[in-house]
Structure 1
Amino acid sequence: MLYLIILCDILFWVLLAAGLAARYVKGWKRLGGGILLCVPLLDVVLLGATVISLKGGAEVGIWHGLSAAYLGFTVAFGHDTLRWADEKFGRRFGGVPETPREVLYGRDRVMREWRSWLRFLLAYTVSCALLIGMTWFVGGVERGALLLAWLNPLTKILIYSLVWPVIVTIRPGREPEETAPRTTAE
């Protein structure tokens, strides 16, 4: 299972690079888009392999739980990773102009940080649902205890990730002061 998780992670980056290279370097937009559409299929393959492994009577291992955690985080953060890579690749190889990064402060910054934390919550929820589902699938807690062991680190990640939005809520930052260019008369 560990090797399949590593393979899926490597294939994620290979398909991402191939799709973006086809899109921006070669100018094959349709082929690049098709390759990028294959990226989420890796999650389906990983989930299917995990279910087949468990259904086949394999001993439940810690790696089955890692596959659930991996799937939860790719569901929550995969799209943003694709978009980020697309923007970077487009600027570097496709002549896409760089969009200036917006400086957020105050309410806008607080909202962005809480939306980011909600993505962690989504990853946590999907991962926990998969872990509980797999535990039920293998016949209960007696056989699936190693799966439920993942709830501890996932819960810690969720709690620790809560620190940053709370800090930003308390101290959201101020609007940057406009600095007008000085003239010689001043």
Structure 2
Amino acid sequence: MIVTLIVAAEISWWIVLGLALSARYLLRLRRTSTALLIGLPVVDLALYALTVLNLRGGAEAGWMHALAASYAGFSVGYGPSLVRWADRHFLHRFAGSPKPLPSPKYGPERTRYEWQVAGRTVVSAVITLGLISLLVPLSAGSAHFGTFSQWYVKLGIAAVVNLVVAGCYSIWPKEPPAGVRVENGRVVERKAPAERV
């Protein structure tokens, strides 16, 4: 049942986002769009509330319950950036705005980007761990702590790996290859190799 709810929540999240962007840019209903965007966190909260109710109803705690909590945590950490990404692509596709720029690949811009990703991952992990911790007393307490404890390790590893990657980019910034002109960390021109005489 929980897996079905997670899938339904994921589909609902993207449907609500699509409706919000359509209302804003196609129908020019800015207030409706804002209301729908505010509804995105409601999808996450509903999933978590249903997870809690499932445990309170006597369901045995399992990885699916922790996954539901991690879905909510991911949405808090990555949700705003996903909305911005969808907004840019929707504008390009339906409103004639320029094609969205790709993520920076080189220099300090790439380093900054990696730290942003690491920050989102840490926020997601912290929120998820908090939500999972709240599930423990709702699932016979310490009797099911082992079911959720592995998520502490997994999320901790994910956060540390992202921080290490960002740190490596700080120490060893990625430089563009020879013959490539870069602006704001993105390739703008590839110079043809010089012809041999």
CA apart distance, 1:169: 1.4
Q: Matched residues in 2 for 1:115 and 1:14: separation?
A: 26
* Residue 14 of structure 1: aligned partner: 15
Matched residues, percent identical?
30
TM-score (norm 2): 0.78
Moved more, 24-33 or 87-96: 24-33
CA apart distance, 1:102: 8.3
Amino acid at match of 1:59: E
* Residue 171 of structure 1: aligned partner: 172
SS in 2 for 1:58: coil
**CA deviations over 1:76-114 (Å, ceiling 9, x no partner):** 000110111011101211233456668575444433322
Gaps of 5+ in 2: 184-188, 190-197
* Residue 183 of structure 1: aligned partner: none
Equivalent pair of 1:110/1:168 in contact (CA under 8 Å): yes
* Residue 2 of structure 1: aligned partner: 3
Amino acid at match of 1:141: S
Amino acid at match of 2:117: S
1:14-53 equivalences under 5 Å are 14-53=15-54
Is the aligned partner of 1:135 residue 2:146?
A: no
- Number of residue-to-residue matches in the alignment: 180
* Residue 87 of structure 1: aligned partner: 88
1:65-104 equivalences under 5 Å are 65-98=66-99
* Residue 113 of structure 2: aligned partner: 112
Amino acid at match of 1:114: W
Q: Matched residues in 2 for 1:170 and 1:5: separation?
A: 39
Gaps of 5+ in 1: 180-186
SS in 1 for 2:132: helix
SS in 2 for 1:57: coil
SS in 1 for 2:40: coil
* Residue 124 of structure 2: aligned partner: 123
* Residue 155 of structure 1: aligned partner: 156
After superposition, the CA RMSD in angstroms is 2.6
CA apart distance, 1:16: 1.1
Question: Compared with structure 1, are the counterparts of its residues 2 and 102 closer, same or farther at alpha carbon in structure 2 (3 Å cutoff)?
Answer: closer
TM-score (norm 1): 0.82
SS in 1 for 2:32: helix
